[in-house]
Chains A and B, each alone.
Chain A
Amino acid sequence: MSGYLSGVLAILGINIIFAYSIYITAATGQLNLGGAGFQAIGAYACALLSNELGLPIYLTLVFSAILGGAISFLIAFPVLRTKGVYMVLATFAIAEIVAGIILNTDYLGGPTGMIVNAYIETEVVLVVAVIIVILGFYIMSTRIGLAMRAVHDDEAVADLMGVDKRAIQVGAFTIGGAIAGLSGGLYALYFGFIEAQYFNANISIFVLLYVLIGGTQTAWGPLVGASFFTLIPEALRIGDDWRFFIFGVIIVIMMIFRPEGIVTRDALERVWRQLFSGKRNV
């Protein structure tokens, strides 16, 4: 693998994992605009455990996920009291708080960042990405996944059907935080250097857009969205300056033509019927 290709694939893997973290929450109808904050928590946890305690790589990754999940769980209760645009603001604020804490903590390197001693190859990122994609599809293929989508569509009716809306939302937010933490751990280990400035609002916005534009109705959404937005700019060799412009244009076009995202259930159903000229068991 060439260095360039290997680098693109690693970023792709990290972005896909990160996208699933936001997707799991979005599938229940909650928008998390604080992705970068949870990613930063995982990245710094991983770096510290590796640098200070010399823990093996897989353990540092496990702890990145656990810490991301634990912190998500704790803040899920106040955050999930808010809804819609207020929830977006609350999660955004949390990410800013995380960045603020890191910037002001000398132990974490403050604004100069932190070098990570351990490192991983692209293959590790890709293997973890495959596992997370499978996990995403698995969750959505169960009754729990069905209940999550029901909560997304109509909380009140889901409740009357016996769905524990609170448990579903807190659970999804927690798993989402864990996966975001994991993606942060992988980022730290792959790039070998982390700084608070990297985990900024842009990152949170992009990952949420991957998910919304990929589509939240099926587990394909984050995979397609993250791949699309990671690979297209690379394929077109678009520099960072133009990336924002292209993003903007694509978003406007998407909102006009596919407001529910690239992959929708009806679209899948249609493709399936054409491929097998039969009905699909979904």
Chain B
Amino acid sequence: MSDPILRLEDISKSFGGVRVLEKVSFDVERGSRHALIGPNGAGKTTLFNVISGIHDPEQGKVLLEGKDLKGIPSRKRIKKGLSRSFQNIRLMPHLSVLENVMLGQHSRFQFLDMVKPLNFSAKSTGKAEAIETLNSFGIDLYEGQTVSSLPYGIRKKIEVVRALMSEPQLLLLDEPAAGLNTAETNTLRDLLKEVSNRGITLLLVDHDMPFVNSLCEQVSVMNFGQLIYDGPISDLKKDEKVLEAYLGMDEKTERSNA
């Protein structure tokens, strides 16, 4: 257990003087299914943005496979085995489903393969592989359509598939189950378990606790930018601070509703 794929050391980040992340540290073990939870505004997405290089932390380090990611631009992190999805679906609106998925493969190709016409060299450009992937995830029906007209659940799924196309070591998923119905959530869980069985480490943010419980074994909890729990998910309910954070939240919502 001393070989984490991702190590966060004292990550701090503020926006306009407001501390959003306050010395956050935890490890994500290789091959694990790790959840990151916390009330709205806790800083979960911000932490993902720091890990993927969209934001630089003011303090602290992100270590991927033991290597400090400082100075490595966001564009190059996907080549280091890091891939992610987004809380608000960020598929390319004018690309077809297939093209969105092919975009996920971009980092795996050399320039010479990028100047081949996709239709005439489907094998060496990865197009054939992308079509196969669509088939295996049961979204081939939508292949040529642009994404904006598709049902929400399908779009969520395409985002996960796109993130997988780079063949990542570590997959960051920001609320993949949000907005899905029960059947879709169950399909997503099966899909992610299969991904995990392939050896890909999962770090996922979600508010759907039954979903998180049935998928993840480790959990880190954040509240107001601070880590308040980090350990096995089975002990989560016994933790005082966690209970307080979530209860406090409920009280606040009740008060604001009153």
Contacts and interface: CB of A to CB of B under 8 A. Distances in A.
A121 interface: no
Contacts of B126: 143
A241 B186 CA distance: 65
Interface in A146-196: 146-147, 149-150, 152-154, 156-165
A282 B96 contact: yes
A269 interface: yes
Contact of A161 (B104, B116, B119, B145): B104
Contacts of B113: 143
Given A159-B74, A160-B74, A162-B75, A146 B86 contact: no
A160 B94 contact: no
A281 B117 contact: no
A266 interface: yes
B119 A141 contact: yes
A162 B94 contact: no
Interface in A229-282: 265-266, 269, 272, 279-282
Contacts of A281: 98, 119, 143-144
A143 B146 contact: no
Interface string B70-92: 00001111110000101000101
Contact of A282 (B92, B98, B116, B149): B98
A217 interface: yes
Given A149-B99, A282-B96, 15 more contacts: A142-B115, A143-B106, A146-B99, A146-B106, A147-B114, A154-B90, A157-B92, A159-B74, A160-B75, A161-B78, A162-B75, A163-B106, A265-B146, A269-B96, A282-B98
A255 B95 CA distance: 21
Given A141-B118, A153-B95, A160 B84 contact: yes
B173 interface: no
B125 interface: yes
Say which size band chain B's interface belongs to.
Answer: 35 or more
B199 interface: no
Nearest to A159: B75
Contacts of A154: 90, 92
13 contacts: A142-B118, A143-B118, A143-B126, A149-B99, A160-B78, A161-B104, A162-B79, A265-B94, A279-B144, A281-B143, A281-B144, A282-B96, A282-B99
A162 B166 contact: yes
A203 to B, nearest CB: 28
A279 B140 CA distance: 10
Contacts of B75: 159-160, 162-165
